[in-house]
């Protein structure tokens, strides 16, 4: 801050951790209001730099602060005492993150503790080797080849937030158990140092989570007032800055009282139905929901490394399945490469349809995106608020929207129509093992006329022929478009081809459907829809 003092020609540059400008007016009424505001904003004793940096040659006069220098001071455990002379000050537990930062400085604090509530637990990605220069913060390698680190989003008794980067876990799947054990509990932090002071403009993702937890559900203390004074939740501006904390030379201590009851300050995820989320007007808003994953697709951008590609999860719930054509019956959830997925989640999604809890996903511009600080869980948290949302599980078969004029690319739909052509030039077939289905057969070393399966370690006498081809359909719901569908041997159209002994002329004019398809592309010039038949989990 640049200060221009009265009756002085030289400006003063003041370097602060936190400051808020209060403009004084010439009118006494405004001056009185501003003074009251100042009393509310400042809660600290004036601490000398010598004390902050623990210099040995402290003068006694530095400890004697006159009443003129005291600004709206609240009662302290210890007032302006030498930390070396009073070891209790090192172990005293504070309840204000801001006061701890101001009193201990950017170099961090070792023995001093601050008591906070854990609002969220998640993992954040880090560049490879990021933790090599930070003692005690060895990164964790997750299932997508991504280094990540366990983090806590904590809040103090005054409503201020801080993100704490902890040491890495032994495995990514530990995140779920830490969520269940730690969220909503009080903890004491010690051995911390400031990694960064960030603001809303620099960290939109972090502040979108903070905004979802604001305002507090219970009254919080007001800075500048004693702990016994009246607390408030009304007219509180959302936080404008946040400190990122990390370990100080491997001395970090996080003491969580897991036996203690859930704090009243804790805000569990507000679970909504997908229908309600799709109708939100805002942008960059965090949302949590419980949905059935029907189909998983890795985006195939070959110029992007596979561990950095976006994953599409096609999900639905009862709020979408029970609605008649107001919202889509299935929506795509994009999982960005920055979203850390546990091994348990990735393995479960690859096997069968799963009910997954999406916590703090990001809604904006008509899309649901899983980004940094989004957590996917196979179990619903012990505490979550439903706010009247219909969270009943699906009972009948899942229905997809049929292909029509509103169908968009990167979605799924159901298709019915008449076969009007087959693109034989792009068709190909391959033999597979009749025992295990392995499609990568080799020539038998002993008899080059036979095929050999490495998985079964046996000769394949009767291989099963599989094929892929493109067919053209005439669809009443999209009569003006050319509908091209890539079909596979083992799916519904393949069954029709086998029934007619793979004779193309025999299938022309046949009715097919409903085919479950992924929409690759929708173009207007030429008017064409490119689909691929898929199997829902």
Region of poorest pLDDT, from 69-78, 343-352, 374-383, 431-440: 69-78
pLDDT for 128: 47
In 403-441, where do the E strands start and end? Answer: 412-432
Query: Do the domains 274-377 and 411-533 sit in the same CATH topology, yes or no?
Result: yes
- Identify the pLDDT of residue 43: 44
Task: Give the pLDDT confidence of 361-412 residue by residue, as tens digits.
Answer: 999 888 999 999 999 998 877 667 665 566 677 878 899 999 999 999 999 9
Structure confidence at residue 410 (pLDDT) = 93
Q: Domain spanning 91-124+147-217+239-267 has what CATH number? A: 2.40.50.140
Q: Specify whether the CB–CB gap between 271 and 385 falls below 8 A.
A: yes
The pLDDT, as a whole number, for residue 68 is: 37
Which whole number is the average pLDDT over 309-314?
90
> Is the pLDDT reported for residue 202 higher than 90?
yes
> Using CA atoms, how far apart are residues 117 and 184, in angstroms rounded to an integer?
6
Closest CA to 148 of 122, 121, 177, 120: 122
206: three-class secondary structure by DSSP: helix
Instruction: Check pLDDT > 60 for residue 133.
Output: no
Residues 6+ apart with CB under 8 A from 29: none
Question: What span, in angstroms and rounded, lies between the C-alpha atoms of 64 and 50?
Answer: 13
Of the candidates 435, 515, 426, the one whose C-alpha atom is nearest the C-alpha of residue 475 is: 515
Task: Check residue 324 and give its pLDDT.
Answer: 77
Burial class of residue 490, CB neighbours in 10 A (0-12, 13-18, 19+): middle
Instruction: Indicate if the pLDDT at residue 322 is higher than 80.
Output: yes
More confident residue, 168 or 327: 327
CB 499 within 8 A of CB 507: no
CA angle 384, 167, 348 (to 5 degrees): 50
pLDDT at 61: 43
CATH 2.40.50.140 fits 274-377, yes or no: yes
Report the pLDDT value the prediction gives residue 408, as an integer from 0 to 100.
93
> Which fold, 411-533?
OB fold (Dihydrolipoamide Acetyltransferase, E2P) (2.40.50)
Pick 135 or 25 by higher pLDDT: 25
pLDDT digits (tens, 9 = 90+) for 222-278: 665 554 455 555 677 889 999 999 877 666 677 887 777 888 899 999 999 999 999
Per-residue pLDDT, 497: 62
- This prediction has a pTM of 0.74
Tell me the domain boundaries of the chain.
91-124+147-217+239-267, 274-377, 411-533
Q: What is the pLDDT of residues 66-84, one digit of tens each?
A: 333 333 322 222 223 333 3
Rounded mean pLDDT, 148-169:
88
**pLDDT, average across residues 426-445:** 83
- 182-186, 376-380, 486-490: least confident range: 486-490
């Amino acid at each position: 801050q640049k200060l221009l003092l009265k009756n002085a020609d030289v400006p003063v540059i003041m370097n602060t951790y936190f400051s808020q400008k209060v403009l004084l007016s010439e009118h006494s009424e405004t001056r009185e209001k501003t003074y009251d505001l100042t009393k509310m904003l400042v809660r600290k004793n004036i601490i000398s730099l010598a004390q902050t940096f623990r210099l040995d040659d402290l003068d006694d006069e530095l400890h004697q602060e006159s009443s003129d220098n005291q600004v709206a001071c609240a009662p302290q455990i210890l007032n302006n005492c030498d930390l070396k002379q009073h070891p209790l000050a090192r172990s005293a537990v504070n309840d204000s993150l801001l006061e701890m930062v101001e009193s201990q400085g950017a170099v961090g604090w070792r023995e001093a503790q601050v008591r906070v509530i854990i609002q969220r637990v998640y993992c954040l990605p880090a560049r490879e080797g990021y933790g090599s220069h930070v003692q005690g913060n060895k990164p964790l390698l997750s299932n997508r080849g991504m280094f990540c680190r366990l983090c806590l989003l904590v809040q103090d008794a005054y409503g201020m937030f801080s993100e704490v980067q902890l040491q890495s876990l032994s495995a990514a799947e530990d995140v779920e158990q830490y969520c269940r054990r730690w969220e909503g509990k009080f903890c004491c932090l010690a051995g911390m140092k400031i990694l960064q002071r960030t603001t809303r403009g620099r960290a939109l993702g972090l502040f979108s989570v903070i905004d979802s937890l604001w305002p507090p559900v219970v009254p919080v203390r007001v800075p500048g007032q004693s702990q016994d004074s009246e607390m408030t939740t009304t007219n509180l501006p959302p936080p404008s800055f946040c400190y990122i904390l990390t370990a100080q030379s491997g001395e970090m201590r996080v003491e969580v009282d897991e036996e203690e009851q859930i704090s009243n300050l804790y805000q569990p995820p507000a679970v909504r139905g997908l229908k309600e989320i799709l109708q939100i007007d805002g942008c960059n808003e965090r949302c949590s929901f419980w949905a059935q994953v029907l189909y998983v697709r890795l985006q195939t951008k070959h110029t992007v490394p596979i561990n950095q590609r976006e994953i599409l999860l096609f999900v639905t719930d009862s709020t979408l399945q029970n609605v008649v054509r107001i919202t889509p019956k299935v929506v795509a959830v994009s999982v960005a490469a920055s979203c850390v997925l546990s091994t348990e989640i990735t393995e479960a999604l690859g096997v069968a349809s799963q009910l997954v809890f999406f916590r703090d996903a990001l809604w904006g511009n008509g899309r649901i995106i899983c980004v940094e600080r989004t957590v996917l869980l196979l179990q619903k948290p012990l505490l979550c608020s439903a706010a009247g949302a219909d969270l009943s599980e699906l009972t009948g078969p899942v229905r997809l929207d049929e292909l029509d004029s509103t169908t968009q690319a990167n979605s799924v739909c159901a298709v019915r129509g008449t076969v009007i052509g087959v693109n034989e030039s792009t068709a190909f077939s391959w033999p597979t093992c009749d025992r295990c289905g392995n499609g990568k057969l080799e020539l038998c070393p002993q008899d080059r006329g036979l095929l050999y399966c490495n998985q079964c370690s046996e000769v394949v006498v009767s291989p099963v022929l599989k094929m892929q081809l493109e067919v053209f359909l005439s669809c009443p719901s999209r009569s003006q478009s050319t509908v091209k569908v890539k079909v596979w041997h083992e799916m519904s159209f393949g069954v029709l081809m086998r029934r007619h002994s793979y004779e193309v002329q025999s299938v022309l004019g046949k009715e097919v459907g409903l085919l479950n398809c992924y929409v690759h592309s929708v173009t207007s010039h030429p008017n064409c829809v490119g689909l691929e038949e898929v199997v829902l989990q």
